Amino acid sequence: MPARLSMPKDKLKFVLLEGIHPGAVELLRRDGYTQIETLPKALTGDELIDAIADAHFLGIRSRTLLTDAVLARAPKLAAIGAFCIGTNQIDLRAAMRRGIPVFNAPFSNTRSVAELVLAEIVMLMRGIPHKNAALHRHEWLKSAEGSFEVRGKTLGIIGYGHIGTQVGVLAEHVGMRVVFHDIVSKLSLGNARQLASLEEVLAASDVVTLHVPETAQTQWMIGAAQIAQMKRGAHLINASRGTVVDIEALSAALEAGHLLGAAIDVFPEEPKGNDTSFRSPLTRFDNVLLTPHIGGSTAEAQANIGVEVAAKLLRYSNNGSTVSAVNFPEVALPEHTGRCRLLHIHRNVPGVMAAVNERFSQAGINIAAQYLRTNEEVGYVVIDVEADASQVALEQLCSVEGTIRCRTLY
């Protein structure tokens, strides 16, 4: 039996994990939603399953793993908000097949990451992490050895997307030369140059910074062989995903003095919250600047993300719009004042739309407007009918073969 949702706002439950900004809660409340549960950390296992068992909308950040098995335990889930950029923590295809659109904030924290990386470039080139650690141990290391200006040095950017391009622009402002590698041919900003391969960028750079998403291709893409291709005395920055760099290989290169330093913000395994301790082979190196995945954690970014993603969930809940969903056919919709709106998510197989229209016609329901978008696996059709036909229309829709999910908006 496909999921059928047709409820007033105060019956719809939002669960927001991982300390999502209060601005999101405020926006939802202002719109009339009252059932909003918030938690400051990520959940796993039974705790996660219990928390989302009766949720209609779920908000997470980078830490909550939503596998198909987890999604299967949330039968009422209508949409997911990733209050961050990365969506690798969600099985997007499984969510799509279950009729659940996923929304994120594709650039609300871009600038925050870029600023942090710029600061790290300067800190690393001056050997500050090492000198700072020494001073905390009462050791005075006044020396120019291993300390360089960034002006005239080469920055290599791997992944020249939203963040990579911003980093490049900021780095040029302090006089750096910028080269980059991307799997896609990209418009170079400023004087940045796209080189022919990853190897060329690694070999040319004094600092290499990673800004790729987590994919099958980027997993462990920087290992012993790639680090060996970097210049002796270069620095590595990773504020992308923890699985992009082989930490053992990085440790070995630091131990051997091949790399002079590193700044690492993301780790293969990260604590679920601030009440859990952090362990990494990198904690033993003074010349490694470690930060607890805070590239996007600024007041500005979090406030913007809170409002942006909450607004996308609201739009989907109130109006049915899936514009900017990362895993779903995108349907942009006008207001449906005075009418009833039906949302129907179905498997994209021949005959579904014919069956929908036939049933409406047989039941004498007049369709005021119809909007359809499909991708290779699912179709999303939104149908506006006169308000008094809503119940019959919903019955008809839900019984169409191929239906994944249907819902009414008033």
Ligand X SMILES: NC(=O)C1=CN([C@@H]2O[C@H](COP(=O)(O)OP(=O)(O)OC[C@H]3O[C@@H](n4cnc5c(N)ncnc54)[C@H](O)[C@@H]3O)[C@@H](O)[C@H]2O)C=CC1
Q: List interacting residues with ligand X (CB under 6 A).
A: 85-86, 109-110, 113, 158-164, 181-184, 211-215, 217-218, 239-241, 265-266, 293, 295-296
- Choice between 5 and 239, CB closer to ligand HPV: 239
Q: Judge whether 378 and 312 are in contact, CB under 8 Å.
A: no
The site partner of 61 among ligand HPV, ligand X, none (C-beta below 5 to 8 Å per kind) is ligand HPV
Active site residue 270: yes
Which residue out of 293, 336, 339, 405 is catalytically annotated?
Answer: 293
- Choice between 85 and 383, CB closer to ligand HPV: 85
Tokens of 134: 């020494």
Shortest reach from residue 89's CB to ligand HPV, in Å:
9
Active site residue 241: yes
- Identity of the residue numbered 257: G
The site partner of 63 among ligand HPV, ligand X, none (C-beta below 5 to 8 Å per kind) is ligand HPV
- Choice between 99 and 296, CB closer to ligand HPV: 296
The site partner of 213 among ligand X, ligand HPV, none (C-beta below 5 to 8 Å per kind) is ligand X
Which residue out of 26, 270, 330, 386 is catalytically annotated?
Answer: 270
Q: Judge whether 206 and 235 are in contact, CB under 8 Å.
A: yes
The site partner of 181 among ligand HPV, ligand X, none (C-beta below 5 to 8 Å per kind) is ligand X
Shortest reach from residue 86's CB to ligand HPV, in Å:
3
Q: Judge whether 282 and 307 are in contact, CB under 8 Å.
A: no
Active site residue 376: no
Angle, vertex CA 199, rays to CA 198 and CA 201, nearest 5: 65
The site partner of 59 among ligand X, ligand HPV, none (C-beta below 5 to 8 Å per kind) is none
- Separation of alpha carbons 165 and 176, rounded Å: 14
The site partner of 212 among ligand X, ligand HPV, none (C-beta below 5 to 8 Å per kind) is ligand X
- Choice between 154 and 240, CB closer to ligand HPV: 240
**Of residues 59, 42, 57, the one with CA closest to residue 7:** 57
Tokens of 180: 């980059």
Q: For 308, list phi and psi in degrees, rounded to 5.
A: -65, -50
Angle, vertex CA 130, rays to CA 262 and CA 226, nearest 5: 20
The single residue listed with the structure tokens 């504020």 is: 239
- Choice between 166 and 317, CB closer to ligand X: 166
Shortest reach from residue 320's CB to ligand X, in Å:
27
**Termini Cα distance of the chain:** 23
Which residue out of 21, 63, 241, 344 is catalytically annotated?
Answer: 241
Tokens of 314: 């609201």
| Helix/strand/coil for 87 | coil
Strand partners, 80: 58, 102
- Choice between 185 and 362, CB closer to ligand X: 185
In angstroms, how far is CA 55 from the centroid of its own chain?
20
β-pair type (378-386, 367-374):
antiparallel
Q: Judge whether 187 and 161 are in contact, CB under 8 Å.
A: no
Q: Which residue is nearest to ligand X (CB)?
A: 161
| Region of residue 208 (left: phi > 0; alpha: psi -120 to 50; beta: else) | beta
Shortest reach from residue 63's CB to ligand HPV, in Å:
6
Query: For binding to ligand HPV (CB under 6 A), which residues are involved?
Result: 61-63, 84-86, 109, 293, 296-297
- Choice between 74 and 102, CB closer to ligand X: 102
- Separation of alpha carbons 209 and 155, rounded Å: 8
Shortest reach from residue 349's CB to ligand X, in Å:
31
Shortest reach from residue 370's CB to ligand X, in Å:
33
The site partner of 20 among ligand X, ligand HPV, none (C-beta below 5 to 8 Å per kind) is none
Shortest reach from residue 56's CB to ligand HPV, in Å:
22
Active centre residues (catalytic): 241, 270, 293
